[in-house]
């Protein structure tokens, strides 16, 4: 390798090291939600292609006692995006600026949130903290806004989810009641001798404490090396994904390991990887193999199977809040309320 090529690679590596991790900023908790508050529905990624789905979301939020407002560009269409980057970012900035809006919820995931990160007004967001909730591609906003402002964001339902009692109860307890919630999977065996659904698997026993950080693995891994990820030191990393071949999951978790993220964390929680089975063909690893290769050797508390992901029954997980995880019982306990 020539000197110039070696010098170039060393420079790139040093730049990545200086931009990938940032010291924790002081946490800002959003005000808790109460009946009569207004929830804004935004489309930071995919467009809302069904007026009926939006109406069902509006009626569901009204049933919880909230008023709603639909952002200007939710039904816009620019290919697979809900309008241009500038318009989608303008909706987000406008909803943070609007004193009549108390919470912001994404209607859909999809792709496109990372494109908005350079366009957001972080000083505005810092001055007007409010609940921001979503999952999947919304991970880019949850982590980026937390890293830039310290605002506690919420990895939870988008508007188009199934509004079932499990999901609603965790949302209410976390965002309205202000409880230091215990996140515990269902334990219903039905008429079977052993539980088959929503099981947890202990990868390495023990308890760990730290700030809850994470979200969708694909989105998170594609933000590596940017200023839109927080410092991972001492954190509890939670991950989920959907529709990825196992080798892709292996590749992305390998990236986190090579980037030093897995060395920094205090504990690891994996939710669900929906439709991520090995499939047909020769030689595929399983997700169990991937965890055995990358997570178990860390010898840090770790478990999989949490109700986090592209599933109908889901936790609301505050990004940036101190928590304790128990890999033996498969639980996460907030050590403080996520809202004020």
Contact (CB, 8 A) for 327 and 203: yes
Assigned CATH topology for domain 38-176: Rossmann fold (3.40.50)
Helix (H) or strand (E) holding 42: strand 38-42
At residue 5, the pLDDT reads 41
Q: Is position 4 annotated as part of the catalytic site?
A: no
Catalytic residue of the set 73, 108, 221, 240: 240
Q: Would residue 136 show up in a list of annotated catalytic residues for this protein?
A: yes
User: What does the pLDDT read at residue 6?
Assistant: 43
Q: In this predicted structure, what is the pLDDT of residue 306? A: 98
Q: What is the pLDDT of residue 282?
A: 65
Is position 310 annotated as part of the catalytic site? Answer: yes
**Catalytic residue, candidates 73, 108, 136, 204:** 136
The 3-state DSSP class for residue 135 equals coil
Partners of 70 in beta bridges: 41
DSSP character for 243?
S
Contact 92, 42 (CB under 8 A): yes
Mean pLDDT, each 10-residue run in order, the chain (340 residues): 42 41 76 98 96 97 98 97 98 98 98 98 98 98 98 98 97 98 96 96 98 98 97 98 96 98 98 90 88 98 98 98 98 98
Q: Which of 332, 309, 178 is closest to 249 using CA atoms?
A: 309
Q: Do domains 38-176 and 182-334 have the same CATH topology?
A: no
Distance set, CA 100 to CA 35, 36, 37, 125, 212 (Å): 14, 11, 8, 14, 29
Q: Please choose, from the candidates 60, 63, 68, 65, the residue with its C-alpha nearest in 3D space to the C-alpha of residue 35.
A: 65
Domain 182-334 sits in CATH 3.40.50.880:
no
Q: From the candidates 204, 221, 310, 324, which is the catalytic residue?
A: 310
What is the maximum span of the chain, computed from C-alpha positions, in angstroms? 68
pLDDT the model gives residue 91: 98
Domain edges within the chain: 38-176, 182-334
Residue 283 has what pLDDT?
79
Burial of residue 236, with CB atoms counted within 10 A of its CB: 0-12 exposed, 13-18 middle, 19 or more buried: buried
Structure tokens at 310: 């592209």
**Which pTM value belongs to this model?**
0.92
Helix (H) or strand (E) holding 97: helix 85-97
């Amino acid at each position: 390798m020539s000197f110039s090529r070696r010098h170039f690679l060393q420079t790139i590596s040093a730049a990545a090291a200086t931009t990938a991790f940032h010291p924790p900023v002081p946490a800002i908790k959003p005000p808790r939600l109460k009946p009569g508050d207004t929830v804004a529905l935004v489309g930071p990624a995919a467009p809302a292609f069904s007026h009926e789905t939006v109406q069902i979301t509006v009626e569901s939020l009204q049933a919880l006692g909230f008023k709603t407002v639909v952002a200007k560009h939710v039904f816009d269409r620019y290919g697979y995006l809900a309008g241009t980057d500038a318009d989608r970012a303008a909706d987000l900035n406008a909803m943070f600026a609007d004193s009549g809006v108390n919470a912001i919820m994404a209607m859909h995931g999809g792709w496109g949130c990372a494109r908005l990160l350079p366009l957001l007004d972080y000083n505005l967001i810092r001055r007007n903290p409010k609940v921001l909730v979503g999952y999947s591609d919304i991970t880019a906003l949850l982590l980026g806004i937390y890293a830039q402002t310290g605002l506690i964001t919420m990895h939870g339902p988008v508007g188009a989810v199934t509004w079932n009692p499990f999901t609603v109860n965790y949302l209410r307890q976390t965002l309205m009641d202000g409880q230091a919630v215990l996140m515990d999977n269902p334990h219903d065996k039905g008429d079977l001798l052993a539980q088959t659904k929503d099981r947890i698997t202990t990868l390495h026993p023990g308890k760990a404490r730290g700030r809850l950080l994470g979200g969708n693995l694909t989105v998170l891994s594609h933000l590596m090396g940017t200023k839109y990820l927080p410092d991972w030191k001492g954190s509890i990393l939670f991950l989920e994904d959907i529709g990825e071949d196992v080798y892709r999951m292996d590749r992305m978790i390998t990236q986190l390991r090579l980037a030093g993220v897995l060395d920094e964390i205090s504990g690891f929680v994996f939710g669900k990887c929906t439709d991520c089975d090995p499939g047909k063909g020769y030689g595929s690893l399983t997700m169990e193999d991937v965890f055995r290769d990358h997570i178990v050797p860390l010898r840090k508390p770790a478990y999989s199977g949490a109700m986090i992901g592209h599933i109908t029954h889901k936790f609301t997980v505050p990004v940036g809040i101190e928590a304790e995880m128990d890999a033996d019982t498969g639980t996460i306990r907030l050590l403080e309320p996520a809202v004020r």
